[in-house]
A and B are shown apart, each in its own frame.
Chain A
């Protein structure tokens, strides 16, 4: 049974294309007001999942509710509650940024102020420029602006920051954080794991059409995956050790070294990226067997 209180509720979702199984029984919930990061390698089923939730694709089987509605039969009333930033767009762009946003704002019952949205995505200087004359990263910001112009209850962000420079990405994170603070529920897919760690409350990792792990950002992969790693070079040989007490280990090593500094010492706490890579690698090894 899907959970009616969740913003998104998915149970045993399957999608096949002929003999190819794109999704093989995926279940998860996204709570209201939460930012959920859906992670996984290319071709794992992320976009298929998100497009089923957006109503773009039909599912083969399973139960799906998005804001309490089956997206296969979603009405315009339902669409008015969503904001969708698709993975890629290549529109001819013969309108200016402000014209496009003002036009789309008219579709929604409670749109945001057009100039505020332009400022929020940092395009004030380009407001009167034709969209086709913008750079790739600037066009992507227009996509994001169009996604939020209707004050969505639920925002889908499919790889939103592809093509952004580091400064734009930071600015985008601030924007998303302010949307979170206003109570917007967000479903994010991204290949930037630092982005998922920074913005996400919970994450699901999808590989080969199945959900291989799900949990809060600081718990996913389990406690063992978070044990710090100590690396150093001893006589020209790279050494490493995992320990929950890295300071003790380092002190011991220094003592063993006669009080001298260790070469190339590092204490690394596994990032979400490290954990993600390990989980996906483990999955792929298991499948290969």
Chain B
């Protein structure tokens, strides 16, 4: 038998290294100009453009008859788009690049647990997603004068839609990162998916303006549900009648998003490898 003894690593390092990965990931994220612009600031830029360009258009009135501004109308959609960009777009492109440029191969040769790596990625998405949402809310409220809800129940809804949404989006991004064959093709594969979803899910175009068949197609994907959850939080109560079925349908948001989370987790478990072993 072998005379070589390999010392055991101490227990409990998975979480500690996960924390260390989060710091490393967040630092790297904010030092990449393209990720800061196309992922972090993009919903803010779109909100600013839409709020300014459509400032003279009517987006309806609330229960008391006060006009709803363009900024107030678009805020929920941009928050939902932020979830998709910070999670799915960010991680799908980021991990495809890391697979392509040798980062994953290098990590695979170290005693870093895979779970710590994922804690780092999802932690990065949480940190940057929270900062992004905070910035969107701040700008909407301070610059564009959007009145934010004051009922704690609305904020509780926001909290669970946000956390469930950003986690699902992150997990789906990890799953999607397997699809591009190289880092160079990653944005070409990922951006069209993200863009089409945003157009059909009520981010840029009012969901009630889409034909019913397109609404049905969009309902297969999670972004439609996240945008709907955000509208339930930020739009006046009388807008509920314009939703499909005339209801915010938060149960539907919970079920559809959770299903996508489970699908994403299963796909990650089955397909994630540090490297393509025999390429």
Bin chain B's interface residue count.
Answer: 20 to 34
Contact indicator per residue, chain A 56-93, by CB within 8 Å of chain B (1) or not (0): 11100000010111000001111111101010111110
Residue-by-residue, is B9-41 near A (CB-CB < 8 Å gives 1, otherwise 0)? 110000011001000100110011000000000
Contacts of B108 in A (CB 8 A): 55-56
A94 close to B106 (CB less than 8 A): no
A94 with B32: in contact, given A5-B3, A56-B108, A56-B275 (CB under 8 Å)?
A: yes
B97 interface contact, C-beta 8 A: yes
Inter-chain contact A92/B6, CB cutoff 8 Å: no
Partner of B277, one of A58, A67, A86: A58
Residue A136 at the chain B interface, CB threshold 8 Å: no
**A4-B2, A80-B111, A86-B102 known; A92-B7 Cβ under 8 A:** no
- Whether the pair A107, B106 counts as a contact (CB closer than 8 A) is no
Which size bracket describes the interface of A in this complex? Answer: 35 or more
Closest to B10 in A: A109
Minimum CB distance partner of B114 in chain A: A76
In the complex the two chains form, is A76's CB within 8 Å of B275's CB?
Answer: no
Are the C-beta atoms of A89 and B102 separated by less than 8 Å?
Answer: yes
Check: A104 CB closer than 8 A to any chain B CB: yes
A104 to B21: give the CA distance in the assembly, Å.
10
Which residues of chain A have C-beta atoms less than 8 A from B252's C-beta? none
A108 proximal to B (CB < 8 A): yes
B64 is an interface residue with CB less than 8 A from chain A: no
In the complex, what distance in Å separates the CA atom of A238 from the CA atom of B9?
Answer: 64
Minimum CB–CB distance from A23 to chain B (whole Å) comes to 13
Kindly identify, within residues 104 to 122 of chain B, every residue whose CB is under 8 Å from any CB belonging to chain A.
Answer: 105-106, 108-113
In Å, the complex CA distance between A81 and B7 comes to: 9
CB distance from A278 to the nearest CB of B (A): 34
Asked whether A89 lies within 8 Å of B106 as measured between CB atoms, the reply is yes
A99's partner among B6, B17, B27, B113 (CB-CB below 8 A) is B27
Report the nearest A residue to B32, measured CB to CB: A94
Contact A68 B17 (CB under 8 A): no
Q: Would you call the interface of chain A mostly helix, strand, loop, or mixed?
A: loop
CB of A250 within 8 A of chain B? no
A67 touches B3 (CB 8 A): no
Q: What's the nearest-Cβ distance from chain B to residue A50, in Å?
A: 11
Q: Judge if A103 is at the interface, Cβ distance under 8 Å.
A: yes
Which residues on the B side are within 8 Å of A84 (C-beta)? Answer: 106, 109-110
Residue contact A68 to B3, C-beta cutoff 8 Å:
yes
Complex: chain B residue closest to A88, CB-CB? B102
Chain B CB within 8 A of A150 CB: yes
Contact of B251 with A by CB under 8 A: no
CB proximity of A191 to chain B, nearest CB, Å: 20
- For B3, B17, B105, B113, the residue with the greatest tally of chain A CB atoms inside 10 Å of its CB is B105
Interface status of B216 (Cβ within 8 A of chain A): no
Q: List 22 A-B contacts (CB under 8 A).
A: A4-B3, A4-B4, A5-B4, A55-B109, A57-B277, A57-B278, A69-B2, A76-B9, A76-B111, A76-B113, A77-B9, A80-B7, A81-B6, A89-B101, A89-B102, A89-B105, A92-B97, A94-B31, A103-B24, A104-B110, A109-B9, A130-B31
Given contacts A79-B110, A94-B32, A109-B10, 14 further A-B contacts (CB under 8 A): A4-B1, A5-B4, A54-B109, A55-B108, A57-B277, A67-B4, A69-B6, A79-B111, A84-B106, A91-B102, A92-B28, A92-B101, A103-B24, A150-B110
